[in-house]
C-alpha cells in the first residue's frame, strides 16, 4: 500500500491531531495484517496505552496533478480512552478554515468537520452508521476543499474493511 516512512508520517499527523498525550509513541507502529486495500497496525503510547487502527489510501484522486502530501483514511481504536471505530482522514493539504467534507457511501451521505489536514465524523453518534455503511459498501467518495479553494475528490475501496475492523477489534479489546 505504501512505504513505512510515509505511513509513519501519516500516523504522527493523525495522532498529533487527535490528542497531544497520545502523540508520544514509544516506537513505530507494528503492522498486523493486510486485508485487500486495508492494512492494520498497533502501537503503544508513551503512557503505555495500546492503539490499533486500520488504514487505507485512495484508489483514485481528482483533480490530477494537485500538489498534496500522502492521503489516508483511518479507523482507530483507543480502548483506554473508550474510543472504538473513530473514523478520520488525513487529506494531504490544509482544509479551508471552517469547511466540512462530505462522504458518500452508496446512498448514504456523511459530514466530517475539518481541522488543518484532518477530518472527523461530525457527530460521534453517526460513527456506527458510518461504519455499517462502509461494511456494506464497495466504494467511498470523500470531497473536500483546500485552504486555496481547490475541491478534491478521493475514492476509496472498501474491500477488506470488515476483516480489518475485526482484526483491530480483536487486538484492542
Identify the helix (H) or strand (E) that includes residue 85. Answer: strand 83-90
> pLDDT of the chain along its 173 residues, tens only?
444 444 544 554 444 444 333 444 457 899 999 999 999 999 999 889 999 999 999 999 999 989 999 999 999 999 999 999 999 999 999 999 999 999 999 999 999 999 999 999 998 889 999 999 999 999 999 999 999 999 999 999 999 999 999 999 999 98
pLDDT at 18: 44
Q: What is the pTM of this model?
A: 0.86
Grid coordinates representing 5 are 516512512
Please tell me the total count of domains within the chain: 1
pLDDT at 73: 98
CATH number of the domain enclosing 160: 2.60.40.1880
Range of the domain at 157: 4-171
Longest pairwise C-alpha distance within the chain: 41
**Burial of 153: CB neighbours in 10 Å, binned 0-12, 13-18, 19+:** middle
Grid coordinates representing 49 are 496505552
Question: Distance between CA atoms of 66 and 135, rounded to whole angstroms?
Answer: 30
Question: Distance between CA atoms of 39 and 34, rounded to whole angstroms?
Answer: 4
| Ramachandran quadrant class, 89 (left: phi over 0; alpha: psi -120 to 50; beta: rest) | beta
CB 113 within 8 A of CB 126: no
If you compute the radius of gyration of the chain from its CA atoms, what whole number of angstroms results? Answer: 15
Amino acid at each position: 500500500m505504501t512505504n513505512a516512512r510515509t505511513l509513519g508520517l501519516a500516523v504522527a499527523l493523525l495522532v498529533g491531531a487527535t490528542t497531544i498525550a497520545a502523540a508520544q509513541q514509544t516506537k513505530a507502529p507494528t503492522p498486523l495484517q493486510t486485508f485487500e486495500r486495508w492494512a492494520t497496525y498497533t502501537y503503544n503510547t508513551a503512557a503505555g496505552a495500546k492503539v490499533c487502527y486500520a488504514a487505507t489510501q485512495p484508489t483514485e484522486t481528482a483533480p490530477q496533478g494537485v500538489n498534496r502530501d500522502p492521503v489516508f483514511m483511518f479507523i482507530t481504536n483507543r480502548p483506554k480512552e473508550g474510543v472504538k471505530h473513530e473514523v478520520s482522514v488525513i487529506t494531504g493539504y490544509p482544509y479551508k478554515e471552517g469547511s466540512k467534507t462530505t462522504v458518500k457511501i452508496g446512498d448514504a451521505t456523511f459530514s466530517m468537520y475539518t481541522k488543518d489536514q484532518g477530518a472527523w465524523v461530525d457527530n460521534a453518534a453517526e460513527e456506527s452508521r458510518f461504519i455499517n455503511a462502509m461494511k456494506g459498501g464497495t466504494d467511498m467518495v470523500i470531497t473536500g476543499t483546500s485552504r486555496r479553494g481547490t475541491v478534491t475528490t478521493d475514492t476509496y475501496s472498501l474491500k477488506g474493511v470488515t476483516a480489518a475492523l475485526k482484526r483491530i477489534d480483536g487486538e484492542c479489546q
